Chain A
Amino acid sequence: MPINMKTQIVERKKNTGRNLVLLNARLKRDNFFKAAGNASVKLVHFSDYVLHPEKYLQAFIEADGIYFESLNVAVLNCEKEDEMNYLNSLLRQRAVWVTEPERYVYKIDSYDYMKGYRDGVNALLENFNQIPGKEKMPELTGVKRRYIDSGKFSWGIKTTRVSESAFSGNGIRIAILDTGVYKEHNDLKGRNITVKKFVTSGSSGDADGHGSHCTGIACGFQDEKEFRYGVAYKSEIFSGKVLNDQGEGTDSGILAGIEWAVNSQCRVISMSLGAANEAGEPYSQIYENVAMRAINQGTLIIAAAGNESNRPLHIAPVGHPANCPSIMAVGAIDSGHNIAYFSCGGIDPDGGQVDIVAPGIGVYSMINAQNEHDKWDGTSMATPFVAGIAGLYFEQQKNASPLDVWTRITQHAKRLDLSSVDGGSGLVQAPVE
């Protein structure tokens, strides 16, 4: 039997039966309390409840109201209105500036409706801006826009302007050092893929799926209908399996993977991996020098800042090896351009800063099964976004050095309403033309 969906109209109380009273700030507090006593208005101080603020409602039973010292506001039982008028007449200065009824407040349960409405407006704006020949409508200011997945592009592709980019990573080699790649995926058909295993145990493919997801983000996919996810869809894929099938590895394997990628003339190395650091822990001198040597050989290393934060309660420092100054550290944002709750922050003064942020929540990509896709979260997902976009910059300017590309990425980043500790230079943006 279908459920009879009756519209429930819940009558909500509007006023509490008390008055909010804004008092004259110039009035001396002692004079006010003395006059209140003469007018038979018994008030208590909110500071009397400092140890048990939750019990402040007792003030309306044991007295006529409560006085909030730091706000210069009193809340009085309504029946004391006459007494307050009398109190006013007792004082040379006017005691009360404004009186208004105290209201009940409720949570906004139309949130989902408003969210849907907002997303609808955003989608409309996006569609409008895609009409050829039409002047583009500027983004709304003062309103935080939330990017959404649409039939053609995932939200990350849009907000990083990859969807508008004329570049595809053509001729650029990008290394993904991770759990391997599922080479048989439909989306990789026809792609130039080189794989190398640096772990001793487990499969030679990607039993975990993490490496496949990251590869899909960095090295992208575009079909004949121009449906696109990921970034550099014509790049050459170099997949180094440095993490085992449980997603774990060691520095030795990663350093070997870096050497292989540099030797293979990869312009970019994407490392969605790391180890948590303690605050104040120095960066590895070995990784720092290796990263500088890689840069000298023409290869830029990009690594995940880490997922150890639990915002707003705790911000963990950028992990190893992303905390090396010569490795670009990537933080994660959501589709509303908020920092992801898990994204590590640049709280260590010596190295350890976040350099850039990229989409890291609900990121669409391929996984390790035939024609399967999923949306995953992590600075792991943000890192290959930046790596793929670095590939587009290398394609745009073939002779660019890794430091040129580093500079272009940070200079062209979209400034966000985030602190540099969280967001570095801002949101990575693809070169458009």
Chain B
Amino acid sequence: MKTLKQNFIALVSDDYLDQIEQVVDQLRARGFEIKQVLRITGVITGKVSIKIELSELNIEGLASIEKPRKVKKT
């Protein structure tokens, strides 16, 4: 059966801005699919199983992780 997935946006902490790949590797190891790695602003985006509770994730160098929102023109 196909696993349902949720999108995520994540932010690395200031001291991991130069080591963002380490955070990416840790996310991949936990089953996260990485779509974008934005090195200047320290953002990682992608998909992961909905079974993963994002708010309970504990990864070194990961400052914040959220579900992306839909936005529209104002």
A interface with B by C-beta (< 8 Å)? 178-179, 208, 210, 243, 247-252, 254-256, 258-259, 262-263, 272-275, 284-286, 289-290, 293-294, 297, 304, 306-307, 319-321, 378-380, 383
Docked-complex contact B74 and A319, CB < 8 angstroms: yes
Which B residues lie within 8 Å of A179 (CB)?
Answer: 73
Docked-complex contact A251 and B63, CB < 8 angstroms: no
Docked-complex contact B72 and A249, CB < 8 angstroms: yes
CB nearest neighbor in A for B72: A248
- Asked if B27 is an interface residue, CB under 8 A from chain A, the answer is no
Given contacts A252-B35, A289-B63, A320 and B41 within 8 Å (CB-CB):
no
Docked-complex contact A293 and B73, CB < 8 angstroms: no
Which B residues lie within 8 Å of A306 (CB)?
Answer: 74
CB nearest neighbor in B for A305: B74
B window 59-74: CB within 8 A of A:
63-64, 66, 68-74
Given contacts A252-B36, A252-B45, A255-B9, A285 and B63 within 8 Å (CB-CB):
yes
Q: How far is B40's CA from A319's CA once the two chains are assembled, in angstroms? A: 25
Q: How far is the CB of A430 from chain B (nearest CB, A)?
A: 23
Interface residues of B, CB < 8 Å — how many?
24
Q: How far is B11's CA from A258's CA once the two chains are assembled, in angstroms? A: 14
Which B residues lie within 8 Å of A294 (CB)?
Answer: 41
21 residue pairs from A and B, CB less than 8 Å apart: A178-B73, A243-B72, A247-B73, A248-B71, A250-B70, A250-B71, A252-B35, A256-B38, A259-B39, A259-B40, A262-B40, A274-B71, A274-B72, A285-B64, A285-B66, A286-B64, A286-B66, A289-B64, A290-B11, A306-B74, A383-B74
Instruction: Please list the 8 inter-chain residue pairs (A to B) with the smallest Cβ-Cβ separation, ordered nearest first.
Output: A251-B68, A247-B73, A259-B38, A304-B74, A380-B74, A252-B45, A285-B64, A290-B41
Residue of A247, A251, A262 with most partner-chain B CB within 10 A: A251
CB nearest neighbor in A for B69: A275
Q: How far is B38's CA from A249's CA once the two chains are assembled, in angstroms? A: 18
Which B residues lie within 8 Å of A289 (CB)?
Answer: 11, 41-42, 63-64
CB nearest neighbor in A for B17: A293
Which A residues lie within 8 Å of B41 (CB)?
Answer: 255, 258-259, 262, 289-290, 293-294
Q: How far is the CB of B13 from chain A (nearest CB, A)?
A: 9
CB nearest neighbor in B for A272: B74
Docked-complex contact A286 and B40, CB < 8 angstroms: no
CB nearest neighbor in A for B46: A252
CB nearest neighbor in B for A307: B74
Which B residues lie within 8 Å of A250 (CB)?
Answer: 7, 68-71
Interface residues as binary, B18-34 with A (CB distance below 8 Å gives 1, 0 otherwise): 00000000000000000
Q: How far is B70's CA from A274's CA once the two chains are assembled, in angstroms? A: 8
Q: How far is B57's CA from A71's CA once the two chains are assembled, in angstroms? A: 65
Given contacts A251-B68, A285-B11, A289-B11, A380 and B73 within 8 Å (CB-CB):
yes
Given contacts A252-B45, A262-B40, A286-B66, A210 and B7 within 8 Å (CB-CB):
no
Q: How far is the CB of B10 from chain A (nearest CB, A)?
A: 7
Q: How far is B43's CA from A259's CA once the two chains are assembled, in angstroms? A: 9
Given contacts A285-B11, A285-B66, A293-B42, A208 and B71 within 8 Å (CB-CB):
no
Docked-complex contact A297 and B40, CB < 8 angstroms: yes
